[in-house]
Amino acid sequence: MDETIAAIATAPGAGGIAVIRISGPQAEAIALHLFRMKNGQPPVLESHHLYYGHILSPEGGAIIDEVMIALMRAPRSYTGEDVLEIHGHGGYLLPQRILAEVIKAGARLAEPGEFTKRAFLNNRMDLSQAEAVADMIAARTDRGLELAQAQYQGRLSGSIEKLHAELADILALLEAAIDFIEDIDDLPDDKSIPRRLQNIVEDLNRLAGSYGEGKIFKDGVSVVIAGRTNVGKSSLLNHFLGEQRAIVTPIPGTTRDFIEEPVSIHDIIIRLTDTAGIRKTGEAIEQAGIDLVWQRVAMADAVLILLDGSEEMTAEDREIIEKLRGKPLIPVVNKADLPQNLSEEEISRILPGKVAIRISAKYGNGLEELGKAIYQHFCRDRTDNPSPEIITHLRHRLAIEKAVFHLCEATAGSVRGVSPELTAADLRDALDALEEIIGKTANDMILARIFASFCIGK
């Protein structure tokens, strides 16, 4: 990492300030080359101090921007290298001009996530913490942010390191028994190793089992609103969004295409999709919209099946419900502000075991109860005090499952009395799997995939 990298670290567009970040061996030299104090002199830079002055164009001496700069010398910086930050005015043109001068002075444009990648390679954080940086930036709910912060603070790493240390201790005992069988008197009995391995497996399985909840709070879920025409699907979407996003008319077939918008419900990001009303039609455009309904339903995590409470259940309703059999359904009865003609008994007959939520999409009645029902559908098993050690990445779950597989093999082999060399090989494979999570054994392909998802400047 002999190259010096640079990028604009703040979001593009109008803003109060913009930050240009530079990391690498030329960071201080670039500061001395481009920055001048108010008296026109270059500064004598102390680490972690702010200096006020101007960025100048070396070619003509023209002032580019009035700025504050800070040099953070290695290893006390985000990347573990010398880091220079230039804090100038926000906008598009000024930060780009400063960055252009920094590139001319010897830096190169940073790749996505390269600052955090350098922090990982310089042991400023492990790989799971590096992933948490991107998760914190992308978080859209309090719970999603809480999980990302917990991972960044090292709670997941701490759990993995603890299990890793326990497993390494077992392996050391086993290898000692293999290498020095005649010289060691105090060896574990035949039952102690399987019992200790089983305890590790149970802890890992609990961690792997947390992925479902973690994924929901990190990535959100997809929910499709489906039903026949004029039951109030678009009105429901609009009320959840608090704006007139979908056109609402009494004319059947108004919605031709699907409309998808994110909405936060009880700290879960719901990608809510309004779809065309399902009915038999001879119109090609409307039929294309109905075909899209079934495509969206196939990809959805759950379906709100919307019924009209002011009418009895129709043949179309029954046909739609039959086609949705096997999908996770949340029945919703709309138009609760009108006299009700759809009974609970009729709903129970066609949707046994389901409790319908009665709402008025027009006036917003029952929307809070519906939000709770959606939340409980996805998080029914969540406790009031969930463990902070929740995994949110599929990569972590797969690595844990790999470790569990090898531990189960080792346990079974130990019970059967197989060669201790084979048991030790399984334990080493399990250790390698755990090390993938924190990055001790991550290969270049994994690193490239992880950091490619970052924004430039982080």
Q: Domain limits of the chain?
A: 5-110, 133-210+390-442, 218-379
The reply to whether CATH 3.30.1360.120 applies to domain 5-110 is yes
Burial of 101 (0-12, 13-18, 19+ CB in 10 A): buried
Instruction: Judge contact between 318 and 269, C-beta under 8 A.
Output: no
What does the alpha-carbon distance between residue 29 and residue 255 come to, in Å, rounded to a whole number?
61
Model confidence pLDDT, tens digit, residues 180-190: 655 555 555 55
Quick one: average pLDDT of 306-318?
A: 89
Q: Above 90 in pLDDT, residue 294?
A: no
How far apart CA 45 and CA 28 sit, in angstroms, is 8
* pLDDT tens sequence across 41-67: 888 999 999 999 999 998 888 999 999
User: Are 101 and 59 spatial neighbours (Cβ–Cβ below 8 Å)?
Assistant: no
Q: What's the CATH number for 218-379?
A: 3.40.50.300
- The mean predicted confidence, pLDDT, of the chain is 86
Question: Residue range 267-277: average pLDDT?
Answer: 82
- Whether the domain at 5-110 and the domain at 218-379 fall into the same CATH topology: no
The CATH number of the structural domain formed by 133-210+390-442 is 1.20.120.430
Which runs of E-coded beta strand occur in 277-381?
302-308, 329-334, 357-358
- What pLDDT score does 299 carry? 84
d(CA 389, CA 162): 13
Please check the confidence at residue 385 and state whether its pLDDT lies above 50.
no
CA angle 376, 377, 378 (to 5 degrees): 90
Phi/psi zone of residue 31: left (φ > 0), alpha (ψ -120 to 50 degrees), beta?
alpha
**From CA 87, how far away is CA 53, in angstroms rounded?**
11
pTM of model > 0.75 = yes
Residue 376 has pLDDT above 70, yes or no: yes
Q: Coil, helix or strand for 24?
A: coil
Weakest mean pLDDT among 95-109, 232-246, 280-294, 301-315: 280-294
Local confidence band at 384 (pLDDT 50, 70, 90 cut-offs): very low
More confident position, 327 or 192? 327
